[in-house]
Structure 1
């Protein structure tokens, strides 16, 4: 039980560290300092008689060049990344910022440049103070050439990446990847490791001590608390829910089925509350962000229906993925049988994804036609619940488009796309 908790909690904390730009550079800086001193270990070994002699002047020159250039490149990389982040927020949506910041290629490049600068400064200082003997100088020279090679390769790859970072297409792909990861995780564990909630929640309500979004639920901690008190915890607020006064996070019920008069502070502490929604455990948030990008593209100021059409295709892929059968669910054994968790509402997911597009794209015939085709496709491949949700939004989008489109030919094309295949035949 403790192992399960630690893995889930560490995953959440690891993803939070990925959003901090200082983490990787700090780690690489510490490794760079350690690497500069590792070369000293060679002086106490038998390499002294075998390694060639390295001129101190040549090594100092190489380290000086690296120190001067790496500081400039690191400063340039930070400026480029900040510019890309600003572009992502202005062209897509501010909610896409976390996935752009978490770009591994840019963080790795910045870490490499900063780490190389620290390595060259530390190594140059040590060389000028005669810290190394002949063997140490040779090992330091090899390490310097290796670091310089890594910098060159990283810079070339980073230039290709920074040219795309912050662009609208790249941002959409990153949001799609984040949404897909969240959907796969929830598809594999629809009840977050607990058991399915039965009926309406009842018992003693537990409320949040602060206002914000539920970002993560420590189900393992809830299980431990429930086992100690012979109670059951019924989760009422899934990740992504806005916690406010009067909105219960969970309900406590004893094994007899009655409300348990128990201290709910520990239960409330298992709910991570923050100011912003996160992609990790909230599959609906990715759909919301994609819908916001499409809504901005359809605004009169932008007028980019092609991006909205691209988003409709992206949403279609994500819902097909959600509908695909999962073997992991069939083979899953509940780890936390005292914690009841409701499933994500498919109707709410459709509302998040298609309401804004159907409203803002009602007057654009190409967007309306593509939306009708996508919803009809989902109605054909999904189960009853998905079919009903898809047909509802198809009818709603058609009704809005019929009120917005004034050209008869546009209406005819839309109505033809909205017609079921058997009716069209």
Structure 2
């Protein structure tokens, strides 16, 4: 949980992902390179400066300025189209990952920076601040900028072939969710338990309403050590808090609620960075959209289940689970049932009438159970629920028989009393 210890590090990471920030850096660098020629000019030999005329540099910069404006407009249009398409056909929650794509941001920033470089160079040439030696430096800088543009443009053209597509978006969500699992470092509770407040503990509330996106562990640990007490965090990133929901419990009566509240960053929207459950929700949304009658794309749902197995395997791997707590700060564990419901339940609901999805769901749950035998009980309940949904939704006895066979091959013929009752009601109706 090293990434959660420092708020400034997290804020810096968010800032670097903003498209305007990267574009501003490239633009400032380009302007600096264009103006640097005037200061480096005295160090250029006279023999070299006489071989390059002002017309040569001026013509190249003019071509560069006009072409970069067109390329920037085209690239921005392509990016907006990809984001709009993903929002309408995949899920709006995935557009955040497309907007923060580093290749797209580098392409736009490079083209904008090259445009400003050429404009500043043309203006400087018109004022005559370069001289003969300065034109040499400007010419060399122009050649370097053209080389960077060519490389960036080739990368951007190749990137557009998959940018915003369903498969590319699934891969992005899987990657960011796996990274969030590593950052959060939360342990997984395989059994549901109710934690009652210990004697002497009191609740700490937040004065804001929204989603927790980051917790400054270092700040909480500093407060706890200074007061000589323990802080038990109750709301993790992704939780929606109000002024009446406790975010932590504090031992003792010290008046430090404001300091504890400042350690929790609360925003109007959820962020992927420290909220792995958001990634699972987005994966299930992609599958649900694909299973809608208007789209009817079971293959996407099957691909999502494959990604879900990889993410859940990372989550439930005992060897990699380590609670992020310190000696003074304790964090709650994630319930395995909640994780499974985030990923599996929407797919089981919307894909109950599609035999290929239903069979893949049973196999996926069995693969997750093989990774985490301690969670087999909770996973078996979800497999039973998925089977019951199929028994209500499928009209073909052959398809239903295939799903039942897949269930029996992994979970045996024995089913819980609740599942048997639901199955009986489904058959009788």
State the number of aligned residues: 406
The DSSP-based 3-state class of the residue aligned with 1:237 is coil
- Could you state the TM-score of these two structures normalised by the residue count of structure 1? 0.90
Residues 85-124 of structure 1: pairs in structure 2 closer than 5 A? 85-124=83-122
Deviations 1:230-267 (A, max 9, x none): 2221100011111023211111113xxxxx24231111
Change (3 A) 1:311 1:418: same
1:415 aligned onto 2:404 = yes
Question: What is the root-mean-square deviation of aligned Cα atoms in Å?
Answer: 2.3
1:309 aligned onto 2:302 = yes
The DSSP-based 3-state class of the residue aligned with 2:19 is coil
Could you tell me how far apart the structure 1 residues matched to 2:195 and 2:131 are?
76
State which of 316, 328, 335 in structure 2 corresponds to 1:338: 328
Change (3 A) 1:327 1:82: closer
State which of 333, 337, 341 in structure 2 corresponds to 1:351: 341
Partner residue of 1:371? 361
Could you tell me how far apart the structure 2 residues matched to 1:397 and 1:198 are?
27
Larger deviation, residues 46-55 vs 351-360: 46-55
Change (3 A) 1:241 1:368: same
Could you tell me how far apart the structure 2 residues matched to 1:65 and 1:19 are?
31
Could you tell me how far apart the structure 2 residues matched to 1:371 and 1:178 are?
23
Structure 2 unaligned blocks of 5 or more: 414-429
State which of 277, 281, 287 in structure 2 corresponds to 1:288: 281
Structure 1 unaligned blocks of 5 or more: 192-196, 255-259
Could you tell me how far apart the structure 2 residues matched to 1:147 and 1:22 are?
20
Deviations 1:278-330 (A, max 9, x none): 1101111100000011111111121111111111111011112223354684x
CA contact (8 A) 1:19 1:98 kept: no
Could you tell me how far apart the structure 2 residues matched to 1:97 and 1:19 are?
14
- Could you state the TM-score of these two structures normalised by the residue count of structure 2? 0.89
The DSSP-based 3-state class of the residue aligned with 1:272 is strand
Change (3 A) 1:422 1:285: closer
The DSSP-based 3-state class of the residue aligned with 1:131 is coil
Give, in angstroms, the shift of residue 229 of structure 1.
2.0
CA contact (8 A) 1:53 1:134 kept: no
The DSSP-based 3-state class of the residue aligned with 1:273 is strand
Residues 5-404 of structure 1: pairs in structure 2 closer than 5 A? 8-45=6-43, 47-49=45-47, 53-187=51-185, 190=187, 199-202=195-198, 203-254=201-252, 260-326=253-319, 329=322, 336-384=326-374, 386-404=375-393
Larger deviation, residues 336-345 vs 45-54: 45-54
The DSSP-based 3-state class of the residue aligned with 1:336 is coil
Give, in angstroms, the shift of residue 108 of structure 1.
0.2
CA contact (8 A) 2:210 2:266 kept: yes
